[in-house]
Structure 1
Amino acid sequence: MSLIPVKPAAKIVHIVEAFGAGTLSMVSAMANAQAKDGHSITIIHSIREETPDNWRALFVDAIRFIQLPMVRAINPAADWRAGRALYHWLRELKPDVVHMHSSKAGALGRIVSLFIRGRSAPKWFFSPHGLSFLQRAEGRLKNTIFLTVEKILSEISCTFIACSPSEGAEICRHLSNNVVVVNNAVDLAAIPAASGNQDIVRIGTVGRVTLARNPELFAEIAGQLTQPGVEFLWTGGGDAHSEKTLAKAGVRLTGWTDRSQALQHLASLDIYIQTSRWEGLPVAVIEAMAAGLPVLATNVVGNKDLVIDGENGYLCENSADFVKYLNILIEDRLSRQKLGAQAKTFAEQHYSLDKMMASLYRAYGLS
């Protein structure tokens, strides 16, 4: 990746509790690029169940790490301890920029920011990476609580960084007009090309088997397409009950894999499907497009920024939509290739790391 001209080196602190999956991918991409551009980078983070064992290998050596236990759920005692420790670390580090990632880090960081003000205070930024109150499967009551908490916190001075235009629109609608869109991106050169299979059509996804990814819908789709010559693959692992549901529907699961293995599994597909209940801007979909795969995805925030009907894939409202479009693509290899080629071009034009970092530096005021 080419270096982006920026102002003199800054001290940048990233705070992240959701240290796994797409959030980890984006934090590592941002932090690595910033370190290579000469900035002083510190990451204050927790360890989650889904944090890979080799997470340190995802970052360049120049980055400093501070492990700070933060819990996902609301826990007054644990949150008080984490907030107090965060305050002391930020006082010691004296950063120019503080960038918070995902809900818990965003909440703790914004509260702590109330006590770190003045001329020498840092600039504060918050990336939700998927808005908590849009998580339909959590239920209306929980989402109302999440939205109420976010509305209260949005009164604290901070710039939201949305990872997609549709997430930015939701932030403006519900929380604040102080929002900048910085699209998620991937290292396009690191994505192996999907060459296509000759005797089968392999349909799959990459990611944790979890509520957000709606494995039940994936299993329902697979259960309706059990004809010879069609395979379904889920690269990843997670919730044991959902894994059983997928296996019962004939889906092959790889279990946990490292990133290089996951990308090889991605390249073995012919069609990529994303059955998410909610998203920010899914890194896995960008990677699938960069590999040259047509994408079928649920019509939710984030997915709808990437998938253009009939151009690089199809947006789907339910299992019937997925089955309808999959049947078309299973039967028509040329259509798969055409949509996949257009998806690759789309990813290259809009979702390179250079574009993401240029937008991020402008948001920080460092360009």
Structure 2
Amino acid sequence: MKKILFIASTLSHIENFHIPYLKRFKDLGHSVHVMGKLNNKSEILYADKIISVPFEKSMFSLKNFYLSLKIAKIINKNNYDIIIIHTSLAAFFARLGIILCLKKPRLVVNTVHGYLFDYNSSFFKKHIMILAEKLTKCVTNVIIVMNSSDYDIAKKYKLYKDNLYLINGMGIDPDSFPSISSKCKVALRNSHNFSEKDFILIYVAEFSKRKNQKFLINSMNKLISEGFSNIKLLFLGDGQFLDELKLYTQSLSINDNVFFAGYTKDTCTYYQMSDICVSSSRIEGLPFNIMEAMSVGLPIVASKVKGHIDLVIPNENGFLFNYNNIDEFCSYIKNIYKSTDLQYRMHIKSIELSKKYSLDSVLSNTVRIILNEYDLHL
């Protein structure tokens, strides 16, 4: 039996994305511990032990550096065989802790959900982030990335000791995001006060600077001014800029076309009653919102940035627009809006492409990589 530790900046991250992985390791007979900032729940399924580490959301927090010492003590005490790290902040400070350990684990895996920089980032930000990765490379046996851009970054700067792998995300459950008939779609719309004639764009994301929702609101203002008054924009999520963007929408007098549904776990219902999934993000890992929308069968119109370019094949399951280019974005929306043939073709292609991101396929492959790497380090 191996003792395995999962680390993330928040335990809610583990709860939202990694429960199937905890279960698989438990089913294989291993002991599983989880570490991160506590969420509202005190229990996480399949975790033998929950370790509270109150990370602060800052790479420059002195408290986080102190927490690295605490992490080192915990690891020394528990004598882990494998440590699997998620989220950029936790990855840095946890690996600092591992550097300080007397009893280092046999295998450390850094699972990169998306480096917070790319080749277009500012010189300062990019090099600070790369320096942080290089400082902790000495205890990073394996890096697992989720998009081709991050693979190129990790390989170019050799941010790992032994091996580098590219996987298709953490996996989505296609049964939880099925396509539905036109009749069911109309019924869903009626139950949520939308019309059959509405053409709905959906964006599921936290309201943050990186997710760039203001761009979509400005794009809607342009589309409405051009006469496309039945195009509606539906936001799901909460976050720092939610209230500010509600007020901004009111200032443009487009409240009848932009809707803020708030945070919900029932995203599938909203995908199913929509026509296009959109994303205006500055940078991504391999976004669940787009994979889930593809499984439902939505065309995708997304910014041409890392993470998106791995999921969207232009003119097949959607379009990619240059970041912050409103004219290009609106042009693609109008192309899909005007062509039922294009909508159907992209619907079929999205479903087809989504299958390679299924949980069954991705989970088995990722667990196999980790256990094979452990065997190599015996």
Q: Please say if 1:241 is aligned against 2:244.
A: yes
What is the CA–CA distance in structure 1 between the aligned matches of 2:63 and 2:132, rounded to whole Å? 18
Which digits, 9 at most, give the CA deviation of each residue in 1:21-54, with x for residues without a partner? 7x7633334334433444322110114xxx6x46
Which digits, 9 at most, give the CA deviation of each residue in 1:119-153, with x for residues without a partner? x733001122111233967x543333223222332
Out of 188-197 and 86-95, give the one that drifted further.
Answer: 188-197
What is the CA–CA distance in structure 2 between the aligned matches of 1:40 and 1:222, rounded to whole Å? 51
Shift of 1:206: 0.7
Identify unmatched segments of 5+ residues in structure 2: 187-195, 374-378
What is the CA–CA distance in structure 1 between the aligned matches of 2:216 and 2:41, rounded to whole Å? 29
Aligned to 1:252: 259
Aligned to 1:128: 112
The alignment partner of 2:229 has SS state of coil
Out of 274-283 and 159-168, give the one that drifted further.
Answer: 159-168
Out of 91-100 and 148-157, give the one that drifted further.
Answer: 148-157
- Aligned residue identity for 1:34: F
Match of 1:15 among 7, 10, 15: 7
Relative CO higher for 1 or 2, CA cutoff 8 Å, sep ≥ 6? 1
**Contact in 2 for aligned 1:42/1:63 (Cα 8 Å):** yes
Aligned to 1:28: 19
Larger Rg: 2
Change (3 A) 1:244 1:28: farther
Shift of 1:64: 3.2
What is the CA–CA distance in structure 1 between the aligned matches of 2:23 and 2:134, rounded to whole Å? 32
**Contact in 2 for aligned 1:94/1:122 (Cα 8 Å):** no
Change (3 A) 1:279 1:265: same
**Contact in 2 for aligned 1:210/1:242 (Cα 8 Å):** no
**Contact in 2 for aligned 1:46/1:69 (Cα 8 Å):** yes
**Contact in 2 for aligned 1:150/1:175 (Cα 8 Å):** no
What is the CA–CA distance in structure 2 between the aligned matches of 1:159 and 1:280, rounded to whole Å? 18
Out of 231-240 and 355-364, give the one that drifted further.
Answer: 355-364
The alignment partner of 2:361 has SS state of helix
Aligned to 1:74: 59
- Aligned residue identity for 1:102: T
- Aligned residue identity for 2:286: L
Aligned to 1:363: 369
**Contact in 1 for aligned 2:22/2:47 (Cα 8 Å):** no
Change (3 A) 1:126 1:355: same
- Aligned residue identity for 1:275: S
Aligned to 2:296: 291
Q: Please say if 1:158 is aligned against 2:164.
A: no
Change (3 A) 1:170 1:135: closer
Aligned to 2:189: none
Q: Please say if 1:280 is aligned against 2:266.
A: no
Give the RMSD, CA atoms, in angstroms.
Answer: 2.6
Aligned to 1:180: 165
Match of 2:203 among 187, 205, 223: 205
What is the CA–CA distance in structure 2 between the aligned matches of 1:127 and 1:320, rounded to whole Å? 36
Q: Give me the TM-score of the superposition, normalised by structure 2.
A: 0.83
Aligned to 1:45: 36
Q: Give me the TM-score of the superposition, normalised by structure 1.
A: 0.85
Aligned to 1:326: 333
Change (3 A) 1:141 1:365: same
Shift of 1:172: 1.2
Percent of paired sites with the same residue: 20
What is the CA–CA distance in structure 1 between the aligned matches of 2:19 and 2:210, rounded to whole Å? 22
Identify unmatched segments of 5+ residues in structure 1: 1-8
Count of residues paired in the alignment: 347
Aligned to 1:142: 125
The alignment partner of 2:201 has SS state of strand
The alignment partner of 1:213 has SS state of coil
